[in-house]
């Protein structure tokens, strides 16, 4: 007997064998149970998800002589003729090859006659959106006033091309893309029944490559069996699909975690020797980053697909902001693979972009003084001046400089650093830190908590309490000081240009002018 491909051999024969489309199966079983069958059904969805298969099962169930749990029994004369392609009352048509109106009219001319074998005459039209406009008009007339013994089962991958007049006369069921887990489980079941040895990791790779289609997945299994000489193993499947093992991807992520550009390029060079599909490697990176983000948000999250130790390591060493940045760059960078001069170049640029646009966080510096600065703003008495105003201003400026040094020595994220730079230091000792901030600044509890944790680590005291009071302040915060320094550098740069003898010579000889906004300090 000729070999039959797995997708045909294991095609579902009743509703219980359908995978991943329970919402459709349940609705059709209930309709059969309560004898509320509509005269026209439309099944939509991407390729290989079971549109035509479900339509055939429904057609068989409509005519089955002995329904079992409202599914075809598979044993009666109707079911046997149906399975062997001898059931005369099933008219199955591929609309892609019969688009002319004459074909549709010839097809429907016999609709008025009673069925020969079963209860209903069933018209199963696949890829119905390929019919011409005149063909739809011919079909519409029969859909409007169908004979009681006629049922229409339509299937399409593109329902938007079907006229609304036809859609409104059908019960529409949208079939979902299958999840990789559903596809791999079905592959596991089939290979066990076929007594073919396999690696579970290989099935995961095949299920991902199937891209939501069970039929495509089983076709890939057939290809893998032939490639592996009767066995489905991870090494052969990786070579067949052009994918790489998980270890190089893990090494890439560790290099990113360490912000090591040389290590990133070294790993990419090792991957390139395997002649991989770089788009698939980028998708592997995206999957791991997704799991890391989940673990950072939900510490109890468990994932059995990837190494738990690696995920925990990445989640603890990568800032959540970096994970989100890397994911977004990788997601948008997928199109670079096709647009770049070659896939490796596109892939390298995506990784280099991650390194380049990662915010430059200031690393903690070795502290030569005590980690805690005790300070109190000096206030002038209303009745007696305790010190000259210039001395008071000098002391306050020193305190703000100390606060700026504290900020620089902490490894703060950009948002937390922004909060700290806009604060004025009021008091800081071993047990507490009091800060002042303008009333117009939008405070976030989560950002305050991150700043408090950083201060606790800085002071080596996990019990340190941070208090931020919103009020109008008169002193220059680190943010104001930084802006003043930028302004001073800008003014000095403009003055240097204006005082340059060559520039002055150009001004005198040619009437040139200096555009201050174009001058940038080195």
Out of 114-123, 368-377, 421-430, 466-475, pick the least confident. Answer: 368-377
**Between residues 1 and 494, which one has the greater pLDDT?**
494
Dihedral sign from CA coordinates of 53, 56, 57, 58: positive
Residue 116: its pLDDT value, please? Answer: 83
DSSP 91: E
Name 466's bridge partners: 433
pLDDT in tens, 150-188: 899 999 988 888 889 889 888 999 998 888 888 999 999
Mean pLDDT for the chain overall: 82
* Lateral strand order in the sheet of 121-126: 90-94, 121-126, 150-156, 40-44, 171-174
451 pLDDT higher than 80: yes
Residue 304: its pLDDT value, please? Answer: 66
Residue 417: its pLDDT value, please? Answer: 86
pLDDT in tens, 480-501: 877 777 778 888 888 888 888 8
Name 469's bridge partners: 436
43 pLDDT higher than 90: yes
1 falls in which pLDDT band (50, 70, 90)? low
| Spatial distance between the Cα atoms of 103 and 126, rounded to a whole number of angstroms | 14
Residue 360: its pLDDT value, please? Answer: 62
Q: What is the rounded average pLDDT of the residues 25-39?
A: 90
Q: b/e map of 79-107 (b: 16 or more CB within 10 Å)?
A: bebbeeeebebbbbbebeebeebebbeeb
This prediction has a pTM of: 0.57
Residue 244: its pLDDT value, please? Answer: 56
Which residues touch 35 (CB under 8 Å, ≥6 apart)?
A: none
pLDDT in tens, 272-286: 887 678 888 888 889
515 pLDDT higher than 60: yes
DSSP 121: E
What DSSP line would sit under 407-452, residue for residue? HHHS---HHHHHHHHTEEEEEE-SSEEEEEE-TTS---HHHHHHHH
In the chain, the domains with their CATH numbers are: 6-174 (3.40.50.300), 180-241 (1.10.8.60), 249-262+270-357 (1.20.272.10), 390-480 (3.30.300.150), 492-522 (no CATH)
How many C-beta atoms lie closer than 10 Å to residue 328's C-beta? 13
Percent of the chain with pLDDT over 70: 89
With beta carbons less than 8 A apart as the criterion, state whether 354 and 329 touch: yes
pLDDT in tens, 229-239: 888 988 888 77
366 pLDDT higher than 60: no
Q: Tell how strand 40-44 and strand 432-437 pair up.
A: unpaired
SS3 of 2-70: CCCCHHHHCCCCCHHHCCCCHHHHHHHHHHHHCCCCCCEEEEECCCCCCHHHHHHHHHHHHHCCCCECC
466 falls in which pLDDT band (50, 70, 90)? very high
Residue 305: its pLDDT value, please? Answer: 66
Residue 397: its pLDDT value, please? Answer: 57
Which residues touch 244 (CB under 8 Å, ≥6 apart)?
A: 238, 271, 274, 276, 280, 281, 284
Length of the chain: 522
* Count of helix runs (H) and strand runs (E) in the chain: 23, 8
Q: b/e map of 46-60 (b: 16 or more CB within 10 Å)?
A: bebbbbbbbbbbbbb
Name 123's bridge partners: 91, 152
Q: What is the rounded average pLDDT of the residues 94-121?
A: 78
């Amino acid at each position: 007997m000729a070999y039959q491909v797995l997708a045909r051999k294991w095609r579902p024969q009743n509703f219980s064998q359908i995978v991943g489309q329970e919402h459709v199966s349940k609705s059709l079983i209930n309709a059969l149970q309560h004898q509320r069958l509509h005269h026209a059904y439309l099944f939509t969805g991407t390729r290989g998800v079971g549109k035509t298969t479900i339509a055939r099962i429904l057609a068989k169930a409509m005519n089955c002589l002995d329904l079992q749990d409202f599914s075809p029994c598979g044993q009666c004369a109707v079911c046997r003729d149906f399975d062997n392609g001898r059931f005369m009352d099933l008219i199955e048509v591929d609309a892609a090859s019969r688009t002319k109106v004459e074909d549709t009219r010839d097809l429907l001319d016999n609709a008025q006659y009673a069925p020969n074998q079963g209860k209903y005459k069933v018209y199963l039209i696949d890829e119905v959106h390929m019919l011409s406009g005149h063909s739809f008009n011919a079909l519409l007339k029969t859909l409007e006033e169908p004979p009681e013994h006629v049922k229409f089962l339509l299937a399409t991958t593109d329902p938007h091309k079907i006229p609304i007049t036809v859609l409104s006369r059908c019960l529409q069921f949208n079939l979902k893309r299958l999840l990789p887990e559903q596809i791999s489980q079905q592959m596991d079941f089939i290979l066990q029944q076929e007594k073919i040895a396999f690696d579970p990791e290989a099935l995961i790779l095949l299920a991902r490559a199937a891209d939501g289609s069970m039929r495509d997945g089983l076709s890939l299994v057939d290809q893998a069996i032939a490639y592996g000489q009767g066995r489905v193993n991870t090494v052969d499947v990786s070579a067949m699909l052009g994918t790489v093992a998980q270890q190089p991807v893990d090494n890439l992520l560790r290099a990113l975690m360490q912000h090591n550009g040389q290590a990133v390029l070294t790993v990419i060079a090792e991957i390139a020797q395997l002649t991989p599909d770089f788009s698939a490697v980028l998708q592997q990176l995206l999957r791991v980053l997704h799991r890391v983000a989940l673990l950072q948000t939900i510490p109890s999250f468990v994932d059995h697909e990837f190494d738990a130790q690696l995920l925990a390591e990445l989640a603890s060493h990568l800032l959540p902001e970096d994970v989100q940045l890397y994911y977004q760059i990788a997601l948008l960078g997928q199109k670079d693979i096709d647009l770049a001069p070659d896939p490796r170049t596109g892939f390298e640029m995506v990784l280099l972009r991650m390194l380049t646009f990662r915010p430059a966080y200031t690393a903690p510096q070795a502290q030569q003084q005590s980690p805690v600065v005790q300070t109190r703003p000096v206030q002038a008495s209303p009745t007696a001046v305790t010190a000259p105003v210039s001395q008071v201003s000098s002391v306050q400026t020193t305190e703000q400089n100390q606060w700026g040094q504290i900020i620089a020595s902490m490894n703060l994220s950009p948002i937390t650093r922004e909060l700290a730079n806009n604060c004025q230091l009021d008091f800081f000792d071993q047990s507490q830190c009091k800060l002042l901030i303008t009333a117009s600044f939008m405070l976030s509890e989560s950002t305050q908590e991150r700043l408090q944790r950083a201060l606790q680590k800085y002071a080596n005291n996990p019990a340190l309490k941070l208090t931020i009071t919103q009020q109008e302040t008169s002193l220059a915060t680190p943010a104001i000081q930084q802006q003043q320094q930028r302004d001073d550098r800008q003014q000095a740069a403009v003055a240097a240009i204006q005082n340059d003898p060559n520039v002055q010579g150009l001004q005198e000889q040619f009437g040139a002018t200096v555009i201050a906004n174009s001058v940038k300090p080195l």
